[in-house]
Amino acid sequence: MDLVTIWFVVIGVFWIGYFILDGFDLGVGMLLPVIGRNDTDRRVMINSIGPVWDGNEVWLIVAGAATFAAFPLWYATMFSGFYLALFVIVVALILRGLSFEYRGKHDSVRWRRNWDLAIVVGSAVPAFLFGVAFGNIVGGSPIESINGNAADADSLNFVGSVVDLLNPFALVAGLMTLTVFATHGAIFLALKTSGGVREAARRAALRIGLVAAVVAVVTLLWAQAFSDRVVVTLPVVCGAAVLWLAALVLTMRGRDGWAFMLSAGTILLAVGALFIGLYPNVMVSSIDPAYNLTVFNASSQSYTLTVMTVVAAVMTPLVLLYQGWTYWVFRRRLTAAMIPA
């Protein structure tokens, strides 16, 4: 493979890592009022992701930075076209981070209730809008050349509005990420906690997981209509469906570790199928395929990609080792008895 293809794969891996890791803690945040019957239960839920949530968001930063460096035209078109949606995501993530820090700063039921609501909103909004964004990347966005020359990649520009982003496929994709992340978070809680929170998390995972299965099947099968690689992507989608159902069965049987691994595997295959179906495009034009941005007309120069490859080869293993060590240190299950008065 050439460097542009390698970096397309690398960015796909970064997004998969983000959706698997930050996906479960976004799910935990969304489920705060569903599983948390009282303040102690909610503190158990927050503490389950407390040591790792900010580290998980590093994958989002790396994915964005890698896109900026490797495919500047992709970055420019996506961030200009999706500006308002991405701004809302950033605000929601900031609000979520503040909520974790400030929730316990004042001994007031109303104070904690308001910050709990902020955690829910700050988790649900990104979970939904990331799906909407990917729905527009895969399904197509209004992109055309400002000078009428499709061969001039620098002239390709997003010409739509926010309303254009809220198309049926993108909204269904948003519902998919919302429900999948909520289920993924519930399965993580079942793995990370004991007692009442664990039992409530298992019940939530089964209920929401069945809804997520239906929405995900609809979304991923619909996505095949935009792909020229159905022969490759359809088996991957079927594999994702099998893993998801197996994860729900294992959750029902109390095999939380295996259930979480299969849930993560489902996200890997589902997002992988979207990237495989997208290649060689990085953004599809809904106006004319001639205006598609591809890995070849949107990439940086070879020297830039070479330097990035060397840096990534050195730094990525270190990040993985550090993050793996963090999860190992905080591997113990949490219970309500561990929460001080």
Set out the domains of the chain in order of their start, with CATH numbers.
3-300+333-338 (1.20.1630)
106: confidence class by pLDDT, cuts 50, 70, 90: confident
Answer whether residue 113 shows pLDDT above 70: yes
Average pLDDT, the chain: 91
Residue 143 three-state SS:
strand
Residues ≥6 apart with Cβ < 8 Å to 270? 180, 216, 220, 237, 240
Mean pLDDT calculated for residue range 293-312: 91
Question: Is the separation of the CB atoms in 243 and 266 below 8 Å?
Answer: yes
Answer whether residue 104 shows pLDDT above 90: no
Q: How far apart are CA 95 and CA 92, in angstroms?
A: 5
Give me the helices (H) in the chain, please. Answer: 3-30, 32-35, 39-49, 53-56, 58-70, 72-81, 83-102, 109-139, 162-165, 168-192, 196-223, 230-252, 256-278, 302-329
pTM as predicted: 0.94
Q: How far is CA 295 from CA 3, 8, 91, in A?
A: 10, 7, 30
Q: What's the pLDDT tens digit per position in 200-241?
A: 999 999 999 999 999 999 999 999 888 888 899 999 999 999
1: confidence class by pLDDT, cuts 50, 70, 90: low
Q: How far apart are CA 42 and CA 217, in angstroms?
A: 32
Mean pLDDT calculated for residue range 262-280: 94
pLDDT for res 282: 93
The tokens for 220 are: 């991923």
Question: Is the separation of the CB atoms in 288 and 32 below 8 Å?
Answer: no
150: confidence class by pLDDT, cuts 50, 70, 90: low
